Amino acid sequence: MLIDSRMNRGFSLVEVMVVITLMVILVMLAMPSLGIYTENSKIRSVAEAFASSAQKARTEAIRTNQAVQLILTTDSPVIANVGTSNLSSTAGNWIVRSVSDDATPVYTFIEGKDAREGSGRSDASTSVSISGVSNSAATSAITFNSAGSTSLGARWLVDFTSSSAACTPVRCLRVIITSSGQVKMCEPAATAANDTRAC
């Protein structure tokens, strides 16, 4: 019994080269989109961590019936730096700390976060940055009282951007903390009236 040799035939070199060429073209087309997706994920991760810390500060203030601060600091967000006064509206670190009512406040560390934690980098470089805080007092700290509301008479806006790409292809985010203590994350570029992502 003879077996037809056409049934055992493999791929020719030309067919393999065509498939490889098509795959390379598809990968090259996907590269810009992959970079934007990665940067969006980093920004979202850091903004969500910040919003979570703000919510934790509010919850702790209500639970302990004591003032709790969320501060942006240039110092490392560790217990040893709980009493830091190195505040900056563009700092990449933040600390949640309770504040005593004493004449000289005593601070208790609750949690600390570094923007690098959500950026996928363990070294000192990160493309995610806090591009600034805006409110009436232009402060880099916010205090929640025992009722869960804030010390500011206006909203606290914290913007998260990418230092490696503009906010046009990349989706920059904003965390808003209202004077009543509500925390919301939104997208400043979303301007349509019925868009749920809008600020």
Greater pLDDT, 119 or 196: 196
How far is 123 from 132, CA to CA, in rounded Å?
23
Residue 4: its pLDDT value, please?
A: 58
Residue 160 above 80 pLDDT? Answer: yes
Residue 108: its pLDDT value, please?
A: 93
Strands 156-162 and 141-144: unpaired
Residue 3: its pLDDT value, please?
A: 57
Residue 124: its pLDDT value, please?
A: 47
For the ranges 53-62, 98-107, 156-165, 175-184, the lowest mean pLDDT is seen at: 156-165
| pLDDT tens, residue by residue, 93-140 | 899 999 988 888 899 999 998 877 655 554 444 556 665 566 545 578
How far is 87 from 65, CA to CA, in rounded Å?
25
Residue 122: its pLDDT value, please?
A: 47
Average pLDDT over residues 135-162: 80
How far is 14 from 28, CA to CA, in rounded Å?
21
Residue 5 above 90 pLDDT? Answer: no
How far is 112 from 36, CA to CA, in rounded Å?
28
How far is 135 from 142, CA to CA, in rounded Å?
11
Q: Among the residues of the chain, which ranges form H helices? A: 13-64, 116-119
pTM value is 0.78
How far is 186 from 159, CA to CA, in rounded Å?
10
| pLDDT tens, residue by residue, 18-69 | 999 999 888 887 777 777 888 888 888 888 999 999 999 999 999 999 999 9
Answer for the pair 173, 43: CB distance below 8 angstroms, yes or no.
yes
